[in-house]
Amino acid sequence: MTMRTITAFFLLVAMVFAPAAVRAHAFLDHSDPAVGSTVPSAPATMHIWFTQELEPAFSWIQVTDKSGASVSDGTSGVDPDNKQEMDIKLKSLPAGTYTVKWHALSVDTHTTQGDFTFQVKGS
């Protein structure tokens, strides 16, 4: 075997297995309220679903108002019945824009994080 053949073999193996490694990360799947949405009234709880199961001890959500103050009512947690879902209770929210920051450690030990906003329209 030539060096070129060996290199081509390893590149082929890497291409086959690389997508599986990427799929193993816990990416945000959807949320309630939805990413970038405007809701007519304040939600009592923020729900986020991920593409993989999470490690509860190292995954969290923070929700803040326009000034950066926390509007969370307690700490976030992974749903014991669905380890792909993380929730946090919210204080009573007036109309405004809120930022959700999340940090997720999937069961395969890969970390992802991100943020998004939603708006409460109010009356």
pLDDT tens digits, 59-87: 999 999 999 999 999 999 999 999 999 99
Mean pLDDT of 16-30: 69
Residue 69 confidence (pLDDT): 97
What pTM was computed for the model? 0.79
Q: Which CA distances in Å does 12 have to 3, 9, 15?
A: 14, 5, 5
| SS3 category, 28 | strand
Q: Is the pLDDT of residue 20 over 50?
A: no
Q: What pLDDT does 123 receive?
A: 59
The tokens for 52 are 């993989």
Contact 100, 30 (CB under 8 A): no
Token duo for residue 70: 């926390």
Distance between CA atoms of residues 92 and 43, nearest Å: 8
Q: Mean pLDDT across the chain, nearest whole number?
A: 88
Question: In this model, does residue 6 exceed pLDDT 70?
Answer: no
pLDDT at 108 over 90: no
